[in-house]
Amino acid sequence: MKKIAFFPGDGIGPEISAAARAVLETVAELAAMPMQIEEGLVGGAALDAHDDPLPEASLQLAKTADAVLLGAVGGPQWDARPPAQRPEQGLLRLRKGLDLYANLRPAQIFPQLLAASPLRPELVQDVDILVVRELTGDIYFGQPRGIDVVDGKRRGFNTMVYDEGEIRRIAHIAFRAAQGRRRKVCSVDKANVLETTRLWREVVTEVAREYPDVALEHMYVDNAAMQLIRYPAQFDVLLTGNMFGDILSDEASQLTGSIGMLASASLGEGRGMYEPIHGSAPDIAGQDKANPLATILSVAMMLRHSLQQEEWADRIETAVNQVLDQGYRTADIASPGEAVIGTRSMGEAVVAAL
């Protein structure tokens, strides 16, 4: 019996995750896989109910599950709160609490949606990037941090920090992923200025020796931000830290024009967490407008990485391609003039295709 922790979250989270849940339940039935889905609260929903973005019960639920499916968290109603009392903190504590140090974010082009990319089609048609982002270290979690007053002036400070163990384990994830792909790793740092990333470069170079079949390149983060636009097809696996990865993975996914289509997996030594890479889109929440495909494709990643159901992962991906081929479009991926369907209908179309 597999146990799935299910966190719908805020904004469009409940709608998109309901569609994804239906897909997961369909697969469980078709595959005769005994499964139990348990719902919990995280983010703004948890703040409203328990004044805590990650109640202990939610963390325990996640820790005892085989995998976690998450919708999205956050919204303007919680924006004025101090960081520790914000929805995002629930997400960060969940990542840290489950030791999900490896965030995999594929940025790939769906040929049916080429026209939705802001880039010229000839530049994006071959784009297939896997961003491997470190997720439990760096300036996100470094101590000391805070705001104090020095000589009567407020001063804010944070600490970027990585030790070689943290760098080594995420580097292994990237090299192993590259072995199943085009065998290239581009490691992104700012080694010309930041000592932390000079160590990053050294350790990644050491790990690379164990993978002689994979080509390693190093790139400065400012150059990477340019190269992603100039010639994105040059990248296979893009390996980087938590902060740079936050920026570059969002940039990479926007390139494809299909951010509503992109899934993510956050992995550690144990269970994994799966979520769309887009946010909670409060402006369209509750209107049956959101695209559920990123969350549905996150279910495919869950089947592949946590539930040993590679074949059903493939089938979901095929079903998604099929509904695109059939011309089904939510508003975010429709070209001018194309007919638009809602969140629920899109989910049902995928279930039907399965």
Ligand X SMILES: CC(C)[C@H](C(=O)O)[C@@H](O)C(=O)O
> Where is the binding site for Mg(2+), in residues?
222, 246, 250
The contact pattern for a copy of itself, residues 156-175, with x = CB under 8 A and - = no contact, is xxxxxxxxxx----------
Residue choice 1, 51, 153, 180 for contact with a copy of itself (CB under 8 A) = 153
Tokens 């992603």 belong to: 228
* Catalytic residue of the set 52, 101, 190, 274: 190
Q: Residue for token digits 């000391």?
A: 144
Instruction: Indicate which of ligand X, a copy of itself, none lies near residue 251 (CB less than 5 to 8 Å, by partner kind).
Output: a copy of itself
Q: Rounded to the nearest whole angstrom, what is the least distance from the CB of residue 302 to ligand X in the complex?
A: 17
With 0-12 / 13-18 / 19 or more C-beta atoms within 10 angstroms meaning exposed / middle / buried, residue 158 is middle
Q: Residue from 222, 283, 310, 325 that binds ligand X (CB under 6 A)?
A: 222
What residue type is 284 in one-letter code? Answer: I
333 lines the binding site for a copy of itself (CB under 8 A):
no
Residue positions in the annotated binding site for substrate?
Answer: 95, 105, 133, 222
Residue type, 2: K
Can the peptide bond before residue 121 be classed as cis, meaning omega within 30 degrees of 0? no
Residue 8 sits at the vertex; the CA angle it makes with 91 and 112, to the nearest 5 degrees, is 100
Told to judge if 250 belongs to the known catalytic residues of this protein, a careful annotator would answer yes
Of the listed pieces 88-96, 143-151, 171-179, 287-295, which binds ligand X according to CB under 6 A? 88-96
**Which C-beta is closer to a copy of itself: that of 192 or that of 326?**
192
Pairing of strands 237-240, 67-72: unpaired
**Smallest distance from a copy of itself to CB 97, Å:** 16
Phi, psi of 35 (to 5 degrees): -150, 145
For the CB of residue 95, give the shortest distance to a copy of itself in the complex, in Å. 12
Among positions 187-226, residues that touch a copy of itself (CB under 8 A) are 190-200, 202-203, 221-223, 225-226
99 among known catalytic residues = no
Separation of alpha carbons 322 and 312, rounded Å: 15
Q: Does 76 bind a copy of itself (CB under 8 A)?
A: no
Does 246 bind ligand X (CB under 6 A)? Our answer is yes
DSSP string for 222-269: HHHHHHHHH-GGG-SEEEE-HHHHHHHHHHHHHHHT-GGG-EEEEE-S
Rounded distance between C-alpha atoms, residue 212 and residue 190, angstroms: 24
Task: List contacts with ligand X (CB under 6 A).
Answer: 88, 91-92, 192-193, 222, 246
Active-site amino acid positions: 140, 190, 222, 246, 250
